[in-house]
């Protein structure tokens, strides 16, 4: 499990400058990429848990599917906004 997390963090941190258009790389881009990687990883994990919990809740109580779906969409929007705000602040 640790090797998978290390590989994921390595890819998230170094993927952005690897595919950048410019040829020069600055040493200050590493903290920005690290922040974006952590935010994206947290967002992905949170969204996965939220969708799984919403699906389980709907399966247990189909009558409350509308309310659960609405709350799930609002929660997913808040989680996605974390990554967007991190991206805007980092650039």
Query: Do 39 and 78 contact (CB within 8 A), yes or no?
Result: no
Work out the average pLDDT over 66-91. Answer: 87
Instruction: Tell me the Cα Rg of the chain.
Output: 17
Question: Which candidate, 52, 46, 53, places its Cα nearest to that of 83?
Answer: 46
Contact 29, 17 (CB under 8 A): yes
Supply the pTM of this predicted model: 0.61
Coil, helix or strand at residue 70: helix
pLDDT at 25 over 60: no
Q: Which fold has domain 2-90?
A: F1FO ATP Synthase (1.20.20)
* pLDDT-derived band at 5, boundaries 50, 70, 90: confident
Most confident of 8-12, 14-18, 26-30, 39-43: 39-43
For the chain, the domains span: 2-90
């Amino acid at each position: 499990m640790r090797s998978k997390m290390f590989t994921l963090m390595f890819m998230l941190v170094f993927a952005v400058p690897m595919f950048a258009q410019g040829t020069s790389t600055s040493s200050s881009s590493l903290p920005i990429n690290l922040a974006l990687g952590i935010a994206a990883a947290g967002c992905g994990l949170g969204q996965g848990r939220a969708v799984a919990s919403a699906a389980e809740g709907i399966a247990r109580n189909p009558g409350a599917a509308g309310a659960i779906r609405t709350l799930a969409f609002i929660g997913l929007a808040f989680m996605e906004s974390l990554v967007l705000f991190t991206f805007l602040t980092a650039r």
